[in-house]
Amino acid sequence: MSFEPQKINGKFKGKDIVSLDQFSPKDIDILFGLAKKMQKIAYNGKPSDVLKGKIVTLIFYEPSSRTFGSFGASVKQLGGQTIDILNPQVFSSVSKGETLEDTIRVFEAYCDAIVIRHPVAGTAKIAAEAAKFVPIINAGDGIGEHPTQTLLDLYTIQEKEGKLNNLTGVMAGDLLNGRTIHSLLRGLSFYKKNTVYLLSPKELKLSKDDYKKFSSLGVKLVEIENDKDIPKNADFWYWTRTQKERFKSIKDYERLKTPFVVTKDLVARKAGKKTIIMHPLPRIGEIDPVIDSDPRAVYLSSQVRNGMYVRMALLSLIINGK
């Protein structure tokens, strides 16, 4: 795809970012090249003018202070400003019965891009179709997609491993419900010869459909149920929390809350010198805090910062076309 604004019905509109599937490996290369430059902009101490005079609306229909903070920081690091609309379904005319389409058309009049978070899958696409002038970025729509999360995960792997193919990784936790898991598997499928060990209790295994889908897309999947079967020296570990909000019974949740924990012992037994330890956060006990200071642990350091660089790059591309 092209990141440049496109002429639609005689009007230029920036590229909507709704799904990871829009990206080719070449697009990802362009994005990551710019993200690398953004890293320098963010920490050189000099104010950036990349988005000076630009306004981005952050409209969040469900709470996510991390994603909200990351997008807000991305805009502001580049000298832009945000309009923050939180929980409009409670605090605004949305509560009076306004459609999402009308809300989007109103806010697009005020700004240069809209970042939307919504609990219902498919909402970002509806918003993108409603917006006539400004691009929409999907910041997570329920069990749907959260493309910038996956892009930052891929960026982190590439930064540390120098490649996105020929990788061996471990993904652990709630593989059944975890959106980040599914999305990263999709991302890895863009590249060749990647193998992922899927560590989870039986109840939280990847669904059969997902297993088939990602296998057929070219990712080699190996399901394991015991951390003894983790391969040594994998390139990355990607741990996730069990998605409490998907459980009907609190008892079931408690039993499956932290089936596998990254401990010092596990790291000593299985991790290699270059194995990076990732987590999309928040973590609720899946990684012992004693690991935080291990240089291979990136979940509280470069993985978080990379989210900002990737979002800075994406905003610059879709607003400025470069």
Which positions are catalytic?
Answer: 66-67, 96, 117, 146
- Chain CA centroid to CA 33, Å: 18
* 109 contacts a second copy (rule: CB under 8 A): yes
Residue 241 in contact with residue 282, Cβ under 8 Å? yes
Residue 56 in contact with residue 112, Cβ under 8 Å? yes
Q: Which of 101, 203, 254, 265 binds a second copy (CB under 8 A)?
A: 101
User: Using CB under 8 A, which residues numbered 69 to 88 contact a second copy?
Assistant: 69-70, 72-73, 76-77, 79, 81, 83-88
Q: Which of 19, 30, 55, 261 binds a second copy (CB under 8 A)?
A: 55
Query: In 10 A of CB 281, how many CB atoms?
Result: 16
Query: In 10 A of CB 219, how many CB atoms?
Result: 23
Residue 230 in contact with residue 168, Cβ under 8 Å? no
User: Using CB under 8 A, which residues numbered 129 to 158 contact a second copy?
Assistant: none
DSSP class of residue 233?
Answer: T
Residue 150 in contact with residue 224, Cβ under 8 Å? no
Query: In 10 A of CB 251, how many CB atoms?
Result: 9
Closer residue to a second copy (CB): 238 or 299: 299
Residue 68 Cβ, how far from a second copy at the closest point, in Å? Answer: 8
> Site mask, a second copy, residues 259-298, x = CB under 8 A?
----------------------xxxx----x---------
Token pair for residue 97?
Answer: 């019965």
d(CA 313, CA 322): 9
Those residues whose C-beta lies under 8 Å from the C-beta of residue 218, and which sit 6 or more positions away, are 189, 192, 194
Those residues whose C-beta lies under 8 Å from the C-beta of residue 297, and which sit 6 or more positions away, are 276, 277, 287, 291
Residue 183 in contact with residue 321, Cβ under 8 Å? no
Q: Report the alpha-carbon angle 158-48-60, nearest 5.
A: 70
Closer residue to a second copy (CB): 196 or 297: 297
Closer residue to a second copy (CB): 143 or 281: 281
Residue 235 Cβ, how far from a second copy at the closest point, in Å? Answer: 23
Residue 99 Cβ, how far from a second copy at the closest point, in Å? Answer: 8
Q: Which of 19, 37, 66, 120 binds a second copy (CB under 8 A)?
A: 66
* 48 contacts a second copy (rule: CB under 8 A): yes
Closer residue to a second copy (CB): 188 or 317: 317
Closer residue to a second copy (CB): 57 or 194: 57
Residue 60 in contact with residue 82, Cβ under 8 Å? no
Closer residue to a second copy (CB): 109 or 250: 109
* 215 contacts a second copy (rule: CB under 8 A): no
Residue 47 Cβ, how far from a second copy at the closest point, in Å? Answer: 3
Q: Which of 10, 97, 162, 295 binds a second copy (CB under 8 A)?
A: 97
Reported in sequence order, the residue ranges of 54-206 that DSSP labels E, i.e. its strands, are: 55-60, 81-86, 113-118, 136-141, 168-172, 195-199
Q: Which of 2, 22, 24, 65 binds a second copy (CB under 8 A)?
A: 65
Give the type of residue at 284: I
Residues that bind a second copy (CB under 8 A): 45-48, 52-53, 55, 57, 63-66, 68-70, 72-73, 76-77, 79, 81, 83-88, 90-99, 101-103, 105-107, 109-111, 241, 244, 281-284, 289, 300-301, 304-305, 308
